[in-house]
Chains A and B, each alone.
Chain A
């Protein structure tokens, strides 16, 4: 098998990020990727560009400005009425044409329902490699190739994957896997306008409607600062209320393990882990959670992890920062009371 980069692909330069937006807002995963793209580009000594595609009446210029603030040097902007609302066909054509014309060496997308849909189609059209759901992106010292690391078999193993003989090298990353980069509004950049060259009648698939989720603004686990999660160790849905009590006092979101979701104690949106959400709050409190690898991969980047478990040998203590060996049914209410008192004191101090 040929592992050498052919001569005609050596001119591919620069790192691109697909800027995903929907109904007036850029998905934070795009900025997280921008932070990673900046680091990769600096190692390679190349530029970072954002790709912004959307309708003429959308705030694409504002998105480009935001992209500069998060690390982009330039943006490719494609405005066309058929690009309003994501559809595979026009977005795949737009992205593929841009890549063929401007030839980036690396193209990064969020591992969202939009990013994965688009990435798979674009990689197939271009005939290049695509590494899914990466947790770490780096540059290989010897080949200068993108070294993309991803968990497999539910996180029990990690593997590093490279695309050596094809360009661009493509990868997707899940929301919250990389930290949010610092925003610097003094940074500026240049816009390259591009045209799609497609009209609505060319496109077979019609977007008839978008039905927003009812609980869209109520559960935002991925971006919560504090999360209190409960596991099967709480034994029944009644005891699980203790998790809600502590969360209320802390202004936290409530998370759960998969068995808890499967038992119907909480909604599926609250599942943390490989087949749920990836989170990275400042504080993650895990009560009655064993710490299985599938749960761990979703929350181990939290700044501070507190685990409460009756079993001193529970795997969760291998990666928690603070461990309490004890009965969560007693510890949770005690914590709720203690936090309540502490926070009240702090508020009094401020007042």
Chain B
């Protein structure tokens, strides 16, 4: 079984600060991590590899330093890693991102036929959940979003059955391979890296592909040029104009505070 797992390197949003004057993200010193949602995709892929044998190829589009994120995934047990990196990809929106990643997946598919592509549910920075559906559509493969459980894989008959989270319930879907799965969070727990894999990761040569290596056919479809969305304005949330109407328990009795609050709520 050959599985491709797409991961994005993102700034650790727990440590993101916004510049109070310029309203820009202060990235300096903010550690970059593997998008947390993507780890559920990776773990699920590794479990399939444990069960069926085969390879897990990691794929990431990003700046050269994203190599670190891929190396992290190798330490968990992934087989191979490709970093698609080229200035020409800068400024990509989701449409341009899915185009570039699809080209790279086709290249990987030429090396060895791919059975499944995994992505995370969404990222913690762009946060659109659009790249997975975009890749599936471009590959013409079946799209399975918000998968909460892989029920069974039948490699012989090339079929897969999954549970997919829907509003108010779960869909049980049956389809063919190859498919693209976007994995729901909280569905599994990432394994610990073994000492062997950590050592392998430290020496691992991540393959770096520029736009030609990635097989990009139409350069007008990548990067800023290939992006239909235009960010026209970035700004901070508006603070509420009036401050909260404050009451302090230490100053007045608890009883007075609660009665006072109730009067105010009921007159609203």
Contacts and interface: CB of A to CB of B under 8 A. Distances in A.
Interface string B61-99: 000000000000000000000000000000001110010
B225 interface: yes
Q: Do most interface residues of chain B lie in helix, strand or loop, or is the interface mixed? A: mixed
A174 to B, nearest CB: 11
A113 B166 contact: yes
Interface in B109-126: 124-126
A323 B236 contact: no
Interface stretch (A50-58, A179-187, A202-210): A202-210
Contacts of A113: 145-146, 164-167
A324 B98 contact: no
B249 A327 contact: yes
A350 interface: no
B203 interface: no
Contacts, number: 248
Given A152-B127, A323-B246, A325-B246, A27 B175 contact: no
A329 B184 CA distance: 36
Given A85-B171, A92-B137, 6 more contacts: A121-B137, A123-B134, A129-B230, A157-B237, A206-B173, A319-B244
A265 B80 CA distance: 40
Interface hub of B128, B175, B248 (most chain A Cβ within 10 A)? B128
B25 A326 contact: no
Q: Do most interface residues of chain A lie in helix, strand or loop, or is the interface mixed? A: mixed
Contact of A326 (B130, B249, B262): B249
Contacts of A86: 166, 171
A335 B263 CA distance: 12
B239 interface: yes
A344 interface: no
A229 to B, nearest CB: 16
A120 B122 CA distance: 12
A312 to B, nearest CB: 7
A213 B129 contact: no
A102 interface: no
Contacts of B25: 153, 157
